[in-house]
Amino acid sequence: MCIFCKIVAGELPSYKVYEDDKTLAFLDIKPTSLGHILVVSKIHYANLEEIAEEDLSALILTVKKLGAKLKNKLGVSGYNIIVNNDPVSGQEIPHIHFHLIPRSKEDSFSSWPKISYAPGEADKILKQLIS
């Protein structure tokens, strides 16, 4: 059983922010910024490709609800919604989850680097994706 399943089952403590029949949200214990929330499905799915559409809908609706709460209750002006999908992307816990990371103009959290396509590379990738 993964760590998030143990939190859902009540076997491990958490700073619970929200719960309904399909989702659970709690503070990240190693936050990127204060108020960093993790939103998880109560059913174990490893990634976006595995999760049932009904459960994904519930998950994103919880993300939306808590994003508004970050703005209204903590006074943040914005937040990042991040899903690391599979280990190569940085997913450390193999259980689908969304990060809600409060942002401020003063924080040091930086976005990812931007690269450029080599000539013809975008066309090649586009053909692979739409074929």
Write the CATH number for 30: 3.30.428.10
**36, 44, 95, 97: the active-site residue:** 97
Mean pLDDT over all residues of the chain? 94
Q: Is 36 a known active-site residue?
A: no
pLDDT digits (tens, 9 = 90+) for 118-130: 999 999 999 999 9
Residue pLDDT, tens place only, 17-56: 999 999 999 999 999 999 999 999 999 999 999 999 999 9
CA-closest candidate to residue 62, choices 20, 10, 8: 20
Give me the domain span that covers residue 35. 3-130
Tokens 């960093």 found at: 36
Confirm if 98 and 39 have CB atoms less than 8 A apart: yes
Three-state DSSP class for 62? helix
| pTM of the predicted structure, to 2 decimals | 0.90
Block residue for tokens 């399943």:
5
Q: How far apart are CA 64 and CA 84, in angstroms?
A: 18
* Counted domains in the chain: 1
